[in-house]
Amino acid sequence: MDSLASKAKSISERSKEVRIDPSGIELFCRSFDPSKMKHWLSQSPFSIKNLQREEKIAYLSVFNSISFCYWGEPKWTIQYKGKSYDGSWAMHASIGKAIESGKPILNPEYLSDIPKKDLQDILSGNTDIPLFDERLNNIREIGSVIIKKYAGRFINLIEESRNDAKILFKILIEQFPSFKDIGYYDNEPIGFYKRAQLLVSDISQDEKLRNIRTLTACADYKLPQVLRRYGILRYSPNLAEVIDNKIEIPHGDSREIEIRANTLHAIELIKEKIGASSSEINDYVWLEGQIKLPTDKPYHRTRTTAY
- Smallest CA-to-CA distance from 229 within 301, 307, 274, 286 is with 286
Say if 279 falls within a structural domain.
Answer: yes
Q: From the candidates 164, 181, 202, 220, which is the catalytic residue? A: 220
| Cα distance between residue 264 and residue 305, in whole Å | 19
Say if 115 falls within a structural domain.
Answer: yes
pLDDT at 17: 99
Say if 295 falls within a structural domain.
Answer: no
Residue 216 and residue 264 in contact, taking contact as beta carbons nearer than 8 Å? yes
Say if 113 falls within a structural domain.
Answer: yes
Collapsing DSSP states into helix, strand and coil, what is residue 210? strand
What is the tens place of the pLDDT at every residue in 102-156? 999 999 999 999 999 999 999 999 999 999 999 999 999 999 999 999 999 999 9
Peptide bond into 74 cis (omega under 30): yes
Say if 303 falls within a structural domain.
Answer: no
Q: Domain limits at 235?
A: 2-289
pLDDT at 158: 98
| Cα distance between residue 64 and residue 44, in whole Å | 14
Residue 1's pLDDT band (cuts 50, 70, 90): low
Say if 302 falls within a structural domain.
Answer: no
Q: Give the type of residue at 39.
A: H
Q: What is the mean pLDDT of residues 206-214?
A: 96
pTM of the model: 0.96
What is the tens place of the pLDDT at every residue in 227-260? 999 999 999 999 999 999 999 999 999 999 999 9
Q: What is the mean pLDDT of residues 201-212?
A: 97
Say if 245 falls within a structural domain.
Answer: yes
pLDDT at 244: 99
pLDDT at 290: 95
If one counts the domains in the chain, the total is 1
What is the average pLDDT value for the chain, to the nearest integer?
98
Residue 278's pLDDT band (cuts 50, 70, 90): very high
- 244 catalytically annotated: no
Q: What is the mean pLDDT of residues 24-49?
A: 96
Say if 264 falls within a structural domain.
Answer: yes
